[in-house]
Amino acid sequence: MRDDSSTVLRRLLLALLLFGLAGIAVELVLLRHYEDGWMLAPFVVSALAAVATLVRLVRPMAASVRWLRAAMLLLMAAGTAGVWLHYAGGLEFQSDMDPTLSRSRLFWKVLHMQAPPALAPGVLVQLGLLWLIATFKDPLVSAPSTLAR
């Protein structure tokens, strides 16, 4: 494997991804984000993404890039579901607190809530997008196969 600038950049992005995933895990533990089954989803997808990232670092080949891309799609799906679940929980809480709120006022109250923070799970989507962008035209995947020759 050659050490050109794109290879170095991909390795740095992988390190950034691992750092972000570790930060998310630490924050979720500190917030005790494990009270029910749904709350464990970010741990599971983050662990899967971390393993896929490590495999890509240790065994750089087309299959590891594809596996990492699949893990990033799961990470993004979990982040999107998390935003929805956080928003729905906040919506229910705010509706119970003040049933007279207009839809727009309710929307903004939910977005400004600290618990659950409606947009916090979006960081999973951001990390997933970061690596999907980093694998754009990855030479390990787009290079012609030596088996086809």
Q: What is the DSSP string of 86-102?
A: HHHHHHHHHHHH-TT--
How far is 56 from 71, CA to CA, in rounded Å?
11
Q: How far apart are alpha carbons 124 and 43 in whole angstroms? A: 11
Output the pTM of the full model. Answer: 0.85
**Predicted pLDDT at 49:** 95
Residue 19 lies in a domain: yes
Residues of the chain with pLDDT under 50: 1, 146-149
Q: Can you spell out the DSSP letters for 32-93?
A: T--SSGGGGHHHHHHHHHHHHHHHHHHS-SHHHHHHHHHHHHHHHHHHHHHHHHHHHHHHHH
Q: What is the pLDDT of residues 111-132, one digit of tens each?
A: 999 988 999 999 999 999 988 8
- Whether 39 is in a domain gets the answer yes
Residue 115: the pLDDT is 87
Domain count, the chain: 1
Q: What is the pLDDT of residue 145?
A: 53
Structure tokens at 49: 């993404």
* Separation of alpha carbons 56 and 141, rounded Å: 12
Please tell me the predicted confidence (pLDDT) of residue 3.
65
pLDDT in tens, 90-103: 999 999 999 999 99
Does residue 42 lie within any of the structural domains? yes
137 close to 16: Cβ distance less than 8 angstroms: no
Q: In which domain, by residue range, is 73 found?
A: 5-80+120-136
Q: Quote the pLDDT of residue 147.
A: 44
